[in-house]
Structure 1
């Protein structure tokens, strides 16, 4: 038993003894059992509530408040709103020091990258200017070693300005992985440096936000690269074949040749000018129809098209230049080698329950042999072969992570089905 338990147990036992004596021995006639128990329970409750023992548990302790600064900001609140989530830029650093200044327990706060001061707030800003090189020796040591330094006197701070009012500091590294990219510096005007733990903690939060910003940047670069690859993938044979078709039509049907030339111009204008990653399905739908109208001019009756598009899909957002390559594969690999041709079907639906957009491109062409399908899709049915499908798959992964599905089914001699399901946007 912990301290306080034995005295309380003794007091409760004694109380029940007294209750028994007064209600059953001294009382004449004795009180009823129910009354005796009620009085005993009441006295026990009074003793237990009024006595701070282990049986009742420790008295309520108010949790310590998070570290707060002069204006009531907390470290938790700072972490949630950290502007360096957009990267280590001058504007982001300026907003960060304004946010951090009240919570760091210092007189001046600065953020630098490896080459210059990005932001400085407080005394000393007259010579620790934004855009200039970090002047203190402490900054150079932190950038070189990647470890926090606590400076307790002005000489070790190493500022070359004789009139600098800063006397002590904590300088912590800002890092992305193992790479030091800058510093967080908190200065005091006396020889008592600010709390090292607080500065290091916030430097860690800043570093985490910088890592997330770099990941975002890399993801965007990857998405742009895939989009450029899809643009470059537009089959040059398609262009030459279409131009040959237009040239032959120019002799027999000049008006149709003119219309085809306009459609070809629309096709390439759309493909080249798209700089967004997501567009409304209606725009991609127009692009696909333009492409198929050009292919129908070439293949004639051998190529039949069927559209089954729910009007609700038209305003849903889909990745740009994604559906047309699937349709092109159906024409090129599914129907081009089939003597009597076939039908390409584009079906699109919105599923409000799962909040997804479902797109299916199917053909009744030659299909794929099992070994070809396995090589194309791998073990799990998701594309890992073929430049076009791989570019599409990797781009979808960059945009949606694991929140998409791209599945291929094919039977040799009986056509191919490609199903794409993406989050509704």
Structure 2
């Protein structure tokens, strides 16, 4: 027997053994009850995805077939909070009147027909008015089990819509925080940058032209309208623009060192997460001293996370004041404190409480602000 034939037979035997083991495993672990649970969970997840976008005609139309399957109904309708029908799937009935009655009376309404019964179940959260109405059409007269299933499907749909409201509220808060952060970009920086550019217009027109471009790109990025997140590479590029403008003002007094691992440049982080840290370091850490100083920015690969730090060797601050939130009483540093708190809140909101800022400082010992950002987090993208 040739080597090729032997190898072929061995391969076939391995495949037959693997098939036998797989079939036995299927018989043991995949029972009808397990398959039913799996199918129900899968259907529920398919219904959840569109509902998490909020209640619209489009999301209702996508979710209705899956909700009908969960309820085991012949037909299913979804109406909005005004009782207006958004979609039907399957057998239809006179739903509008029943939906408005269910909303008004804040309870389920049954409408008996010749062959079918309509159950109008309001989508009522734990607090607040109903978000809409679920209409379920079943054959004959529904028993307690069917009525219970209709109530549970409505409760599930309502829960997903509540989560959509929370997502929308969080997005609104994020947008408000970004607007607040943009408002904190120091007017003194803008004034000083324009004065610096003006000083170069006669003495070094080419340098003035370069700085004008840097300033325009900096403001364009900082006040962009797109998204609450960005990638580290874009954030660092904007930091370079900011630093170039500050170095034009301070000259040799301001030294900047960047150590960035190339593999973390694509990491996603909250928009303008680094800007307040760098501005705080230059404005309050270095510019407060006559000698200037060194600003160091590092980003390193740490397995599943990216570690970023912004450090200066400037005047530092009292950690007790930082801990107690009393920076507004010290040398006009309230903008720095608000900026740090803003970034800390946005990091925790996006990635969890393990991802806030860590500040190491002492009077005369400089300040180091560190943060961790996960390389991947579901739902977070630039």
By the TM > 0.5 criterion, same fold?
yes
Q: Could you tell me how far 1:118 is from its partner in structure 2?
A: 0.9
Secondary structure of the corresponding residue to residue 181 of structure 1: coil
**1:113 and 2:73 correspond:** no
Shift of 1:146: 2.7
Equivalent in the alignment of 2:309: 360
Q: Which residue of 2 aligns with 1:182?
A: 132
* Alignment-derived partner of residue 339 in structure 2: 388
Partner of 1:172: 121
Q: Pick closer, same or farther for the CA change 1:209–1:341 going to 2, 3 Å.
A: same
Over 3 Å counting, the alpha-carbon distance change for 1:64 and 1:262 in structure 2 is closer
Say if 1:345 and 1:361, in contact at 8 Å, map to a contact too: yes
TM-aligned CA distance change 1:168 to 1:346, over 3 Å: same
In structure 1, distance between residues paired with 2:110 and 2:324: 59
User: Aligned partners of 1:399, 1:413: CA distance in 2, in Å?
Assistant: 33
Q: 1:122 to 1:315 in 2, by over 3 A?
A: closer
Contiguous gaps of at least 5 residues in structure 2: 1-29, 328-333, 377-382
Q: Which residues of 2 match residues 255-404 of structure 1 at below 5 A?
A: 255-273=206-224, 275-352=226-303, 355-376=304-325, 386-404=337-355
Matches within 5 A, 1:188-203: 188=138, 190-191=140-141, 195-203=146-154
> Residue 196 of structure 1: CA displacement?
0.3
CA distance in 2, matches of 1:171, 1:66: 31
Distance in 1, matches of 2:343 and 2:215, equals: 23
Give 3-state SS (helix, strand or coil) of 1:81's partner.
Answer: helix
Distance 1:350 1:377 in 2: 34
Change in 2 beyond 3 A, CA 1:245/1:174: same
How many residue pairs were aligned? 336
1:31: which partner in 2? Answer: none
Find the aligned partners of 2:137 and 2:56 in 1 and give their Cα distance: 21
| Mapped partners of 1:406, 1:393: distance in 2 | 5
**Which has the bigger relative contact order, CA under 8 A and spacing at least 6?**
2
In the alignment, the residues of structure 2 paired with residue 318 and residue 263 of structure 1 have an alpha-carbon distance, to the nearest angstrom, of 23
In terms of fraction of residues, the more helix-rich structure is 2
* Alpha carbons of structure 1 residues 247 and 166: separation in structure 2 relative to 1, 3 Å: farther
Q: Which of 202, 218, 225 is residue 176 of structure 2 equivalent to?
A: 225
Deviating more after overlay: 323-332 vs 113-122: 113-122
Residue among 56, 70, 86 paired with 2:53: 86
Distance 1:347 1:227 in 2: 24
Query: Contact conserved, 1:384 with 1:390, CA < 8 A, in 2?
Result: no
Given that 1:150 and 1:196 are in contact with CA atoms closer than 8 Å, whether structure 2 keeps it comes out as no
Distance in 2 (CA, whole Å) between partners of 1:261 and 1:174 is 56
Could you tell me the TM-score, scaled by structure 1's length? 0.72
Cα distance in 2 between the residues matched to 1:73 and 1:310: 43
Aligned residues of 2:43 and 2:69 also touching (Cα < 8 A) = no
Residue from 134, 141, 146 that aligns with 2:106: 146
Cα separation, 2, equivalents of 1:385 and 1:242: 19
CA positional deviation for 1:167: 5.0
Contact 1:377 1:385 in 2 (8 A): no
Could you say what secondary structure the match of 1:361 adopts? strand
Contact 1:350 1:424 in 2 (8 A): no
CA 1:261–1:63: 2 relative to 1, 3 Å: closer
Q: Which has the larger radius of gyration?
A: 1
Once the 2 structures are TM-superposed, how far is the Cα of residue 267 of structure 1 from its aligned partner? 0.8
Equivalent-residue separation in structure 1 for 2:314 and 2:202 (angstroms): 32
Supply the distance in 2 between the matched residues of 1:306 and 1:246 (Cα, whole angstroms).
23
Distance 1:95 1:183, change over 3 A: same
Change in CA separation of 1:111 and 1:254 when aligned onto 2, cut-off 3 Å: same
Question: Are 2:47 and 1:98 aligned?
Answer: no
The partner residue of 2:96 within 127, 131, 135 is: 135
